[in-house]
Amino acid sequence: MSRLVSAGVVATVTLLLMPIATSAAQPQLGGASRSPNILFIVSDDHGWGDLPSNRGKTEVQMPTLDALAAGGVRFPNYHTEPLCGPSRACMFTGQYSMENGMWRGPGKQALGSKGYRGIKRDVKMLSEHLVEAGYATGAFGKWHMGSLEGEVPNDRGFDEFHGFLGGAHPYWVTASSKMMHNRESDRSEGHATELFTGWAEEFIRSSADTDRPFFCYVAYNAVHGPLRTDESKPPSAPDEWVKKALDRGVSFLRSDYVAILEHMDHNIGKLVDLLDDLDIAENTLIVFVSDNGGCTMGDGTAGGNYPGNNGPFRGGKATTYQGGLNVPFLVNWKGRLPQAVVSDAQVVHCDVFATLLDAANIPRPEMNGKNPIRGISLIPHVLSSGNETLPERTMIFELWGNIGLRKGDYKLWSKIKSNSADWKEHVAELGRTDLELFDLGQDIAEQNDLRMKLPEVYASLKTELIDYFANINAEYPGAGSPELSQEKKSKPRDSAPAPAPKHRSQEQFFTNRDRNGDGLITLEEFIGNPKDRNVPALTRRFQKVDSNNDGKLSLEELRTD
């Protein structure tokens, strides 16, 4: 039974949830005059043990995240996919990676080709829901959810994108780096953490001046490699932050790693302070989460040998042991959430999708594409101070044939030979494979296989696991269409614009084009990115629709077109 307990319990996450009244009266949603702003912050390869409010033994100092945790709600039992791209896709779609199409990190194969990896085109992302509901949407930092036509942020619901598309990027950014501003190359220079923060600050400031709520997605590459572990290499963190770590006794091996995290925390503090300065903190939900477990030294985890700290858990990034799955997750909403609260409820990546939809007063769909939504909103649980328990769920994880299933305290684990998206092959392999069974309530380090001691539990969970893989709808829209396959045979692009979505409503088009939220569209906003577009034809159409010839279009004028 899940419950909320005092902050003395070890905890993880800083997810910023829904408005919660702190009076004795039954708390109600909707205390704000409009849908809340959402500041969604993701760290990268940040292990459970290096969030100080989870584990006091870490030498990492993160006063901003400590304060958010102390003023909000933490979930130490948050689970994710153990790799960057799939983890993010699950948070943005409310589904498991085996269902939404991002069964591994995104690839370069064309849509419709064998081995294609990407969020299915009939799967609607969180950002798309929010922009259609009237949110100003901005993404800053690491994307890693696709770089092909139809996959980049501006194709998937974001008005504004400033960052990089791939999975890794050096921290020191030069004019020749792979940074982008929307669909164009960007020549900014500086430290990635500071650039992402500055771009997010600009977006928040401009959005706060409008009547539209904002969704600000800040995806730091901290603390992903490259990091310095060899004295012959330069640090990835600014020198002053490395010096701070070394001066207080942090080992050289951990100094760059610790400095990167502390530098990120300092920059998160700038965003939190900005919300206060603009007097919008009480209408802004903050969410903080790591995408997957940390990289550790010498055990061959994907991402490189780096001195990450996954606390008491076995394994790390790219493994389906708890060290890869169980990561930091927090929620905070100034004046609206109970403070210093820790929930022991078992929650999962796809709950982020359902929770943020609920916060924005958007109904949670039952399906996304041809597979069900798995996430549930955490808001009722938090609003009831944990008295409304979350249902016991079976959580399933897969990466490169690494299989994990958790239900209550029981955990099935195996590494099978199949590492493709052929789920029927997974079914066959699982049928002839002996999995390991752990009781995490007694064995959090996953050392003692109970398969022979608890045969009924083992058989029941294995049957459930096989049934799950047997019933995934693995179809990709357009996969059987030679015409679409030819169209998608293109290299990952930096600047080619995507075609406008078909069947888009005039209201959605208007919302996307009204960049400053003033209720009118200028010719520049109407055209958007002019590269490779028929500007004269668009200008003529604009002038035709502009019935009062004031150089701006209202929604009413657009509807008459």
Give 384-416 pLDDT, tens digit per residue. Answer: 766 789 999 999 999 999 999 999 999 999 999
Domain chopping of the chain, boundaries: 4-383, 503-559
Beta-bridged to residue 454, according to DSSP, are none
Chain position carrying tokens 């944990």: 386
pTM over 0.75: yes
Residues in CB range of 541: below 8 A, 6 or more apart: 561
Nearest to 273 by CA among 194, 204, 218: 204
**Residue 467 — φ and ψ, nearest 5°?**
-60, -40
Write down the residue that tokens 């690494």 correspond to: 402
Supply the DSSP string of 482-545, one letter for each residue: HHHHHHT-----SSPPPPPPTT--HHHHHHHH-TT-SS-EEHHHHH-S-TTS-HHHHHHHHHHH
pLDDT digits (tens, 9 = 90+) for 233-282: 999 999 999 999 999 999 999 999 999 999 999 999 999 999 999 999 99
Decide: 21 and 31 in contact? Cβ < 8 Å.
yes
What was the pLDDT predicted at 91? 98
What token pair was written down for 478?
Answer: 């357009």
Residue 396 has phi, psi (to 5 degrees) of: -125, 135
503-559: CATH class? mainly alpha
Rounded CA gap, 158 and 144, in Å? 14
Has residue 15 got a pLDDT over 60? no
pLDDT digits (tens, 9 = 90+) for 72-97: 999 999 999 999 999 999 999 999 99
Inter-helix orientation angle 252-277/63-70, to 10°: 50
Domain 4-383, CATH? 3.40.720.10
If pLDDT is split at 50, 70 and 90, which confidence band does 186 have? very high
- Residue 294's closest CA among 281, 307, 280, 285? 307
How would residue 545 be classed by pLDDT, with cut points 50, 70 and 90?
confident
Q: Tell me the pLDDT band of 523, cut-offs 50, 70 and 90.
A: confident
Write the pLDDT tens digit of every residue in 238-248: 999 999 999 99
